[in-house]
Structure 1
Amino acid sequence: MKLNYKISVAALALLVASGGAFAQVKRKPVPSPKNKPGTLEQKHLVNPNAGALPVDPDVIIGKLPNGLTYYVRKNTEPKNRAELYLVNKVGSVLETDDQQGLAHFTEHMAFNGTRDFPKNDMVSFLQKSGIKFGADLNAYTSFDETVYQLPLPTDSVAVFEKGFNILANWASYVTFDPKEIDAERGVVLGEKLANGKNAQERLSNQTYPVLLNNSRYAQRIPIGKEEILKTFKPETIKSFYHDWYRPDLQAVIAVGDFDPARVVELIKRNFSSLQNPANEKPRTVYSVPPTAGTVVKIATDKEFPYTLAEIIVKHPQAIVKTVADFMQGIRVQLFNQMLNDRISELTQKPTPPFVYGQSSYAPFIGRLDAFTTIAVAKPGGLETAIKAAVAETERVRRFGFTLTELERAKQSALIGIDNAYRERDKTRSVNFVGEYQQNFITGDAIPGLSYSYNFYVNNINKISLEQMNSLAGKFVSDQNRVIIIEAPENEKDKLPNEKTILEWIGSAGKNITPYVDNTTDKPLLAKLPTPGKISDTKVDSLIGTTTLTLSNGLKVILKPTKFKNDQVLINGYSFGGTSLVSDDDYTSAELAGGIIGSSGIADFTQIQLNKLLSGKNVSVSPYISNIAEGITAGTTPKDFETAMQLIYLYFTQPRKDNDVWQANISQTNALLANRGLNPGSVFQDTVTATLNNHNFREMVVTPERLNKATLDKAYSFYKERFADASSFVFTFVGNFDVEVLKPYIEAYLGSLPSTNSKTTYKNLNIYPPAGQITKTVNKGIGEKASVQLVFNGAYEYNAANNIQIDALEEILQIRLLDRLREKDGGTYAPGVRANYKKIPNSRYSFTVSFECAPADVDKLTSDALDEVNKLKQTGALQADIDKFVAEEARSTQVQLKENVFWAGYLGAASQNDDNPDEILRHVSSLSDITPQSTKDAANKYLNGNNLIKFILLPEKK
């Protein structure tokens, strides 16, 4: 199961951005399918200082007599599906000293035996119903909450109604069989090993007490203590479950394609009998006490590959309950965007002051929010990085933002809420769950999308520049501030002391000047091109596509859909790529797509282009891979022409920017400098080198090769690859009318230059060496091992073989989870990944991977290969085949209603010269999977003739 608790330096940035570990981020408003703009009482909209926010009328909220809360909402996307969640205000902060780790262990035991589902029966039942363990069925434990997630089909009444029984079993009827507890100890210890025994864990152990001020949070990391996990008695975990898994601390969230009244009835039937314990313990609400002044912590580790600084200023948590709170939340959103746009501009300087920088105000942990500034330094550049990042916040504090910046940020915010509103009837059910979860856990209001949309539209322009400019002064402070420096141990002697760090921060804004907003009002495309013509049209009525051939030879595949109201996905490719360049020019060519795509277009720098496109829903990026070049784009019907103009310009007027080139080279060199310190990177580099027969094109770039690359070569190669449109194939998927798009296609794609060169990729024959090979890497100080077993070989690419490989992948995954995780208890998440491809040469690979204690490598490797041999001898169990078939059929039903699936599928079918209609036979072809077919596939693809074993072990002592 997932553990949401990492705080680290880099993790803190992710945490603040994604809401995983300490506190869920206040999510953006999500669609409500019924309400429309203008239906709300205007008094809620015109007065941003009014009282409490309303509750979304589309969600039914209730409370049973025993205190259990429920949230029920009907939502039809995806059809015949529902999301059921059990949310518990129960986390690791509630553990006693002898229970450390048992909140998380309890979550594991919920899948290992309950009153109505002995042992592993629950997981097996759900897999047979098409629910995939891990990907769909899952749970997580944090400091303050434990959440179980159960996505279910609603077109099977029996399965759907059984889901509420499953939630009730989790809530109150976990059995805690002592044998199951002992069997699960190894799994939980495996999870602790998988997420720890590394630089980040060791650094966290140094920084958490300072960052969290020795609070309860610093002492209750959810994974717990190894000695307790190994030795706790069943009575101890039962006591935790008895005290805290109780209806007054629980909520059931149900969102999906169902009858809400029936769901409320099911909740009452399954949960009304749950009882709170007599003399129940009070649920203490813990916090992180404030720190007087500023505390600095410098931490190093032998294996940490970066030097970075993090400045955290902690503030009281803001719960959004009133209109004024909502208004302030919008201001914070605008503030974060404007500040980070400025920081992003710094990375485009010829010598960027840092590799990565970020600054934002967001939820933190322990009833706190935080204003956090992060800077990842280049080697030897910590002072420059810190001063540059701090200077930007100081620039805002002293001089404020400009009016043009604010207007762009407002436009961006309005686009975000407008996008959500336009898709209000196409919003996936899971998007609502987090909002209701936050309402239960923290009390954040849930006004719903219609209210939020109207509020934004009517009130965002009441936010003044003066209000925005006052925020930095509130966020930036030298009180309740923690400064953390993390670095490689080999740089310990070069690191500054606490006094020096404070001096750097204090002097960072000494010579700053006001920000100058460099904008332009020139049109994106001054002169429209001369259109081409459509020379041929073919319609595939089975899958609803139209294929156009243009006068310049370019082909366009169009699939109009109603899956999203306001989305058009565009992808274009042509064969060739870096396979066509010499070894000497390869590195320049490899960088070409990313560099040119980040350099702006025509006469616009990237910064100017970003500003010019603010207020538009459009994203266009060129790319060059080893066998192809192309364009990926996403837009809306409204901004479709802008996207087409950008595509045209990336073909005809790419821009060469030496500043961007130098910045990229500088940052990449910085990332490479200490890469060898990280055991995982060293191991993966060995894997990559071996699997590609040590061909440098597929390996991590070296500083020597990087520094020999030139912008002139990169630019020339880019122009060469986009000079001939005749070999390009574009796919368009989304909400459009084919006839409406035709003039734009003729104008912007039909006008592209064409030489009819008929160029294609060159097969460089880069693939793994044959035979049985073992590669052992000794790197790292933690007692942790990683294993990858790679079966590979030549392949006959076709739909029949592909589906057999897909089945074999999932069946082997099921078998290894049962053997290595459940029976052996030696690893947390053994994985199986199958790949097959047709171009540039037809190959397949199966990779079995797991992490474990070094002492368990031989046994787990042997057991994994034993499961492979069983498949070769007898084939798969019919029960495992049934699980795969159910999961694949369910997932296919969902995918066929997604634009992103069709965009990828149609492009792949074109590249592989497949019949795209095959997808319509996919579900019926699942009947071809039998015990005999899986036996044949195992003997063919897992025969062991070409097997490469990769093993990462700690350094020899």
Structure 2
Amino acid sequence: MKKKIGVLGIGLAVILAVNAPVYAQQKAVVKKTATSTGKKIDGSLIPNDPNVKIGKLSNGLTYYIRKNSEPKNRAELYLATRIGSLMEDDNQQGLAHFTEHMAFNGTKDFPKNELINYLQKAGIRFGADLNAYTSFDHTIYQLPIPTDSIALFKNGFKILANWAGKIVMEGEEIDKERGIIIEEDRQRGKNAQERMSKQLLPLLLKGSRYENRLPIGKIDILNTFTHDKIRNFYKDWYRPNLQAVIAVGDFDVAQVEQMIKDNFSGLTNPANPRPRLSHDLPDNKEPLVKIIIDPEQQYNVAQIMYKQRGNVTKTTADYKKSLMYTMINSMLGSRFQEIMQKGDAPFIQAQSSFGAYQGGLVPNINAFQTVAVSKSGATLEKAFTAALAENERMSRYGFLQSELDVIKKNIESSNEKSLKEKNKTSSIAFVKKYQSHFLTGSSIPSTEYSYELTKKTLAEITLAEVNALAKTLITKENQIIIVQAPEKEKASLPTQAQLLAALKNAGNNVTAYVDNSVNKPLLDKKPVAGKVVSERKIDAIGVTELTLSNGIKVLLKPTDFKNDQILFKSFSKGGSSLATDANFLSASNAGLISQLGVAYFNPTQMSKLLAGNTGRAGAYIEDLYQGYSGSASPKDLETAFQLVYAYATNPRKDNELFNKTLSDYKVSLANKGADPGSVFSDTVQAVLSSYHKRAMPLSVADVDKISLDEAFNFYKDRFADNSEQVFVIVGAFNPESIKPLVETYIASLPSLNKKQNFVDNGVNPPKGKVSKTVYKGLEDKAAVELYLHGDYEYNSLTNVQLNAIKSALEMKILERLREKESGVYSPQVGLSISKYPTAHYYFTVSFSCATANVEKLIAAALDEVKHIKDNGATNDDINKFKSEEQRQLELSLRDNGFWLNYLTGRLKNGEDMTSLLTIKDRLNSVTVESTKAIAQKYLNEDNYIRLVLMPQK
């Protein structure tokens, strides 16, 4: 049952990243060193965290080592290199990225596919764990690895050293990889975004080397380069003085330092190394304007960028400035959100933000970027002008003290949380900081230093300083204006002259901002508390079950995985399945009511009310269930529970915001038919539900039938009786201390003590063999989705067997379609098992490829399915599956989110909550023969769905 409006997500189809502010990027890293109290921010250098050991070998290789026990018995090993596509010669374009691929295709100590094979046997997943990426100026290799096996851990450093200087580059392997990289380009591109980007990048990167060195390279070069070109690239640039080893994890620092010396000291630099040059982006005095249309573009988008020189955060003064930019972004973002909630909003979406230009692709270039999305080409000029007017309002009148107070409270709260979680910081968070330090020279302070510096800086920052900095964001030079729109809107789009006029006149008639905060409490009064009437311990998994006086059950799972995190979720049966066919469209979108706010507060006012408070909660209505979910720091859990009570008893009926949401979604639906992926996705949805009217994709006509009154009444009906709600609460709390809050806000939820269940409305996949091809799109790009499915007798033992088959099939499909056929980049194999409303399973195989290869690759995929059906999974693949499952379970058992979902899932399905304790027995039951028996039963083509997207004829 899919007829629901989700959050409107618009892909802006430009290589644009409104970046996370510098403040957010710098906070979670750090440990104890000198504090910064007592002195005013003076611009002094921020000291490096003494808990990270930074060294350099005689050959120039840098290393960062830090002991960190989150997660336990794990380490993150990274090889960071200052090597990217900017280093390529004209006849090597794409070979930096190609070299990254070759690192997994044979090295001196790990020939051919041995490296991946070895790591998979150790439970390390290719792609999900073991991976790499290439950018303009750097290439990063990542290897998360267990530390409880000393042999495996030592080999981790050998692997990094092999990548650093021992890649073999066999000719046969090079030639096999060409097709894979071309398919990577096809999978990620061959769409409207890529076509428009090819027109945009010469403008955005004009006059720089970046313009002609996109990491993917040129297809003709990738197809034809001789082997010596890539070997020369590797020999010239993969050298220790451009590389760093980063090791963070649960290990002994001295031993790791010795491992690095043992493995990397023998690497040498070229006798006459090629200079690594820095590259810049030139200024432009006059505005650069580009209007781009494409038949598959879905939205009308206008954007302006004001480029500025930037610098890396190294001093306390740098940090203060970055913090003020964060404040500006947040306050301006709140203003835009407030406008977008109004029925007469001039744009569907809009935002302004200061950050790294083009997502940081060009070092030390920042930009103040504004983007606006309109309903049509004819209204784009108005939307663009309105967005620019908000910038002018900020520049001319500044922000209010009340706005600054809100963001200061939020930053203070985040700062406190970072300090509380200092010994629970994940290793990967430290890795990212050290990687940035190596590549850019950014500071890496300790947690304590960062905490004190943030605290002091917040106290010093004044409204006048923030407003003065805001005035510098709009510059007279380095302006770039871009419009992207559907081809059908071509005649109604604003001209270059109109866009420039909008830029010039945006500040006309702008007045000062007025704060709309509501000065009321979240709840008018505390509810009359209920009681805990019984209690049951499930000691095997550390859970306490409470039964409340209103019938609600609460499961408490206290943990020490995080110091400052509590998560909760609840459910009861019913959901939109209980809606009649007549009111289904409105009822299935009743979840939108929870997005309108509660009581007196719309979403913007709610954000202001909760400034500095981590307590968050909301309500949801799904097909089969309804319930609540939320999170909080322990100190703010009462607020989160108050929100639960408010969403249950006092939802907000906001006609203006509800209709604005529907209106915006209609624009999305009206243009959806232009995008091949959307058309194909709608077809998949329709076919898999046998074209059932309750599961068809929404149309514009459907949205017109959605009624606020009907949605609101259905919402109230679903939450009028909470007696069968089951809450799961996981995190940093004491069960005894949490009981009073549970009694006050959960035991008081309205209860009618009715017996409820969901309804099976007959939304089922088609039986037999189904084949459908959709013809949509301009490029040589096909998408394939294959489904083997059927009814199922749900049980945990068979679930594990099916997962083992899925894992084996995933490896075989990857080996066959990618490595042998060189016909795909990243094929996917999925397994979906559901128990309700009727038990069913789906195996899926999906990939994108060249249109000429569709039939060949489908046949190859089905051949691999048949092979597993005839023979079962191999011992080798079964062992890999078991290792991966056990390694992932070790991590999951230390994660609050895992326990929340695990317990909720078991309760929904009526399964034993302690079944986790016997998972190893079920894994041990997986054998070649068991997988063969299960495969023969479930990997059959009695129910086979073949769906293909091809370019239009």
TM range (shorter): over 0.9
Report the counterpart of residue 115 of structure 2 in structure 1. 122
Q: Distance in 2 between matches of 1:742 and 1:11?
A: 50
CA contact (8 A) 1:892 1:923 kept: no
Give, in angstroms, the shift of residue 40 of structure 1. 2.6
Could you say which residue in structure 2 is the equivalent of 1:578?
576
1:582 Cα deviation from its structure 2 partner:
1.4
- What CA distance in whole angstroms lies between the structure 2 residues aligned with 1:643 and 1:784? 47
Give the Å deviation of 1:186.
0.9
The equivalent of 1:809 in structure 2 is 806
Partner Cα distance (1:352, 1:710) in 2 = 21
- Tell me what 2:7 maps to: none
| Corresponding residue of 1:3 | none
What residue is the counterpart of 1:764 in the other structure?
A: 761
8 Å CA contact 1:213–1:291 kept in 2: the answer is no
Whether 2:48 is the aligned partner of 1:55: answer yes
Question: 1:869-891, CA deviations, whole angstroms, 9 ceiling, x for partnerless residues?
Answer: 00011111111111111011000
Deviation at 1:470, TM superposition (A): 1.4
Measure how far apart 1:526 and its partner are.
2.2
- 2:722 aligned to 722, 725, 728, which one? 725
CA contact (8 A) 2:29 2:444 kept: no
Counterpart residue number, 1:413: 411
1:710-747 per-residue CA deviation (whole Å, 9 max, x = no partner) reads: 11111100000000011111110001111111111111
> Once the 2 structures are TM-superposed, how far is the Cα of residue 31 of structure 1 from its aligned partner?
4.2
After TM superposition, list the pairs within 5 Å mapping 1:239-388 onto structure 2.
239-364=232-357, 365-367=361-363, 368-379=365-376, 380-388=378-386
Aligned residue runs from structure 1 range 195-594, under 5 A? 195-364=188-357, 365-367=361-363, 368-379=365-376, 380-594=378-592
Offset of residue 26 of structure 1: 7.1
The 1:886–1:11 alpha-carbon spacing in structure 2 relative to 1, beyond 3 Å, is farther
In the TM superposition, what is the alpha-carbon distance from 1:805 to its structure 2 partner? 1.5
The aligned residue for residue 731 of structure 2 is 734
Deviation at 1:488, TM superposition (A): 1.0
Residues 232-282 of structure 1: CA deviation (Å, up to 9, x unaligned): 111000111111111111011000000011111111111111111111010
Q: State the AA in 2 paired with 1:17.
A: N
Match of 1:168 in 2: 161
**Distance in 2 separating the partners of 1:309 and 1:267:** 50
Instruction: Supply the AA of the counterpart residue of 1:404.
Output: S
Change (3 A) 1:259 1:750: same
2:923 paired residue number: 926
SS at structure 2 position matched to 1:238: helix
Q: Take 1:11 and 1:746, find their aligned partners in 2: how far apart are those partners?
A: 51
Post-superposition shift, 1:42?
4.2
Native 8 Å contact 1:46 1:459 kept in 2: no
Instruction: Determine if contact 1:572/1:631 at 8 Å carries over to the other structure.
Output: yes
What's 2:903 paired with?
906
* Rounded Cα–Cα distance in structure 1 between residues aligned with 2:129 and 2:197: 30
Q: CA deviation at 1:505?
A: 2.2
Corresponding residue number in structure 1 for 2:6: none
Instruction: Please give the alpha-carbon distance, in whole angstroms, between the structure 1 residues aligned to 2:20 and 2:789.
Output: 37
Structure 1 distance, partners of 2:77, 2:14, is 29
The answer as to whether partners of 2:70 and 2:427 remain within 8 angstroms in 1 is yes
Q: 1:803 to 1:351 in 2, by over 3 A?
A: farther
**SS of alignment partner, residue 726 of structure 1:** coil
Secondary structure at the counterpart of residue 285 of structure 1: coil
Quote how far apart the aligned CAs of 1:525 are: 1.5
Is the partner of 2:305 in helix, strand or coil? Answer: strand
Q: Is the 8 A contact 2:75 2:251 kept in 1?
A: yes
CA distance in 2, matches of 1:651, 1:524: 13
Aligned to 2:630: 633
Instruction: Quickly say closer, same or farther: Cα 1:65–1:25, change in 2 above 3 A.
Output: farther
After superposition, residues 656-695 of structure 1 pair within 5 angstroms as 656-695=653-692
Shift of 1:11: 4.9
**1:737-886 equivalence runs, <5 A:** 737-886=734-883
Distance (Å, rounded) in 1 between the aligned partners of 2:886 and 2:667:
46
91, 95, 101: which one pairs with 1:98? 91
Matched residue of 1:598: which SS? Answer: helix
> Deviating runs (4+, > 3 A) in structure 1?
7-13
| Counterpart code for 1:71 | Y
| 1:605 to partner: Cα distance | 2.4
Mind listing any 5+ residue stretches in structure 1 that lack a counterpart?
1-6
Query: What does the per-residue CA deviation read over 1:906-939, in whole Å, with 9 as the maximum and x for residues that have no partner?
Result: 1111111010100111133211111111112222
The aligned counterpart of 1:616 is 613
What amino acid is aligned across from residue 41 of structure 2 in structure 1? P
Return the TM-score normalized by structure 1.
0.97
Matched residue, 1:4:
none
Alignment-mate amino acid for residue 573 of structure 1: F
1:802-841: per-residue Cα shift (whole Å, max 9, x none)?
1111111111110011000000000000100100011111
Q: 2:711 corresponds to which residue?
A: 714
Aligned partner of residue 541 in structure 2, secondary structure: coil
Cα separation, 1, equivalents of 2:693 and 2:557: 39
Measured against aligned partners, the alpha-carbon deviations of 1:56-81 in whole angstroms (never above 9, x if no partner) come to: 11111111111111111110000000
CA contact (8 A) 1:84 1:253 kept: yes
- Aligned residue for 2:5? none
Structure 1 vs Structure 2 CA RMSD: 1.5
Give the distance between the partners of 1:495 and 1:317, measured in 2 at CA: 34
1:8 CA displacement: 9.2
CA contact (8 A) 2:19 2:354 kept: no
Displacement of 1:302 in angstroms is 1.1
Shift of 1:459: 2.1
1:740-794 per-residue CA deviation (whole Å, 9 max, x = no partner) reads 1111111111111111121111011212100111100110010000100011110
The one-letter amino acid paired with 2:463 is L
Partners in 2 of 1:665 and 1:498 — Cα distance?
A: 32
Q: Is the CA contact (8 Å cut-off) linking 2:337 and 2:604 kept in structure 1?
A: no
Counterpart AA for 1:101: G
Structure 2: tracts of 5 or more residues without a match: 1-9
Contact 1:352 1:666 in 2 (8 A): no
CA deviation after TM superposition for structure 1 residue 383, in Å: 1.7
Counterpart of 1:247, as a letter, is P
Task: Give yes or no for contact 2:297–2:674 (8 Å, CA) kept in 1.
Answer: yes
Partner Cα separation in structure 1 for residue 920 and residue 668 of structure 2: 45
SS in 1 for 2:673: helix
- Between the aligned partners of 1:100 and 1:831, the Cα distance in structure 2 is 29
Q: Which residue of 2 aligns with 1:606?
A: 603
In structure 2, relative to structure 1, the CA distance for the partners of 1:725 and 1:77 (3 Å cut) is same
Cα distance change, pair 30–298 in 1 and its aligned pair in 2 (3 A):
same
Q: Deviations over 1:430-488 (max 9, x none)?
A: 11111111111111111122111111112212101111111222111231111111111
Q: Deviations over 1:564-616 (max 9, x none)?
A: 1011111011111111111221121122112x212221122222221111110
Aligned to 1:87: 80
Contact 2:35/2:448 (CA < 8 Å) preserved in 1? no
> In structure 2, what is the Cα distance between the partners aligned to 1:827 and 1:545?
46
Amino acid at match of 1:572: S
Are residues 591 and 8 of structure 1, via their aligned partners in 2, closer, same or farther at CA, if it must alter by over 3 Å?
closer
SS of structure 1 residue aligned to 2:423: coil
Structure 1 counterpart SS, 2:26:
coil
Higher alpha-carbon deviation: 212-221 or 770-779: 212-221
Instruction: Give the secondary-structure state (helix, strand or coil) at the position aligned to 1:371.
Output: strand
1:138 equivalenced with 2:131 (yes/no):
yes
TM score, norm. by length of structure 2: 0.97
Q: Which residue of 1 aligns with 2:58?
A: 65
Aligned-partner Cα distance in 1 for 2:15–2:388: 17
Q: CA deviation at 1:698?
A: 2.4
